[in-house]
Structure 1
Amino acid sequence: MMLRTGPHPRDGRGKLVFLADAGRAGREQAVAVATASIPPRAAGLPDSEIEAALPLLRRLRAAPGTARDADPPSAATEP
């Protein structure tokens, strides 16, 4: 099972969807494949352009990290 669901802590009508362990493993595999594909594509770019792009790329990669790795929130921990 790639996904699991849980009840929304504040809205009983809703469900939240999360990656199950198999889904997390699939995500990690996909990230590894994507990461390995970057060096051949970047080979022709000047180092200065790659270095200039890295801060933005790091922010984009980190942005969904907290929500992506979260367990279902509980009513006690959600604002």
Structure 2
Amino acid sequence: MRLACWSSISSYPFIPECYEIRKTSFFIFIAITLTACGGGGSDDADCSDFAYQQDAQAWHQSNPGSDLDADNDGIACEHLPRR
């Protein structure tokens, strides 16, 4: 009975099909939660993420292809204050 898979585990013996359904559902839930919370680890940054130009420059150099250098002159977030 398929409904038994979603009932309390203690009420039913171990059913391999139910275990796979529960395991898959758990991983789908975790993936959706991490995606919604930004847990996916996005490497996208913009100048507002940095307080100082030197920090933005260091991040830009360690992440080639970032959008921190709008005019492509090699200097990231030129408008930010320097230390």
Q: TM-score, normalised by structure 1?
A: 0.32
- Which has the larger strand fraction? 1
Q: TM-score, normalised by structure 2?
A: 0.31
